Amino acid sequence: MRSSTFDIMSVLRCGLRCLVLAAVTLAVPATGSQASVKSCPAFEIGSLRATDVTRTSLITCRKARQLLRGAYGRGAIKTVYQKDDQGRPIGRATFWLRGGWRCGNGAGGAICYHATKRRYNEVEGGGRFGAAVTATTG
């Protein structure tokens, strides 16, 4: 009689543990959805004004400003151009910044992404990598 009572109690305890584990699992978000997209106030980059600043929630507005300034050559450790058939540089430069960040600018905007840590690249419109920070400049 005692063994059957023990078995029922162990089943009830396991049931309670399984119920708690299921509730915790459902309450924790998936790792791919931890970052969200947020905005930052407008700021100056030299003679340009950066507006519509959009960033991933994994970085601060201060970091976003630092990166976007890098899109105009500030603090770049390397400047890379695409090359034509004769090896001449063409198009816009990509500025490599410390920590694996890559930034560039174009007609009316700037963008930065992380080359190795894709979790930062949550903002839409960043091409094949996504983007960590985007802004309209002018």
pLDDT-derived band of residue 34, with 50, 70 and 90 as boundaries? low
Q: What is the pLDDT of residue 16?
A: 35
Span 41-97, pLDDT tens digits: 999 998 999 999 999 999 999 999 999 999 998 889 999 999 999 999 999 999 999
Q: What is the pLDDT of residue 28?
A: 33
Query: Is the model's pLDDT at 3 over the cut of 70?
Result: no
Q: What is the pLDDT of residue 79?
A: 92
What's the CA gap between 48 and 106, in Å, rounded? 13
pLDDT-derived band of residue 22, with 50, 70 and 90 as boundaries? very low
pTM: 0.70
Distances (CA, A) of 92 to 32, 33, 44, 69, 100: 31, 32, 21, 15, 19
Q: Are 100 and 90 contacting, i.e. CB atoms less than 8 angstroms apart?
A: no
Q: Rounded to an integer, what is the distance from CA 67 to the centroid of its chain?
A: 12
Q: SS3 string of the chain?
A: CHHHHHHHHHHHHHHHHHHHHHHHHHHCCCHHHCCCEEEECCEEECCEEEEEEEEECCCCHHHHHHHHHHCCCCCCCEEEEEECCCCCEEEEEEEEECCCEEEEEECCEEEEEECCCHHHCCECCCCCCCECEEEEEC
Q: Rounded to an integer, what is the distance from CA 66 to the centroid of its chain?
A: 15
Q: What is the pLDDT of residue 126?
A: 67
* Least confident span in 11-25, 28-42, 93-107: 11-25
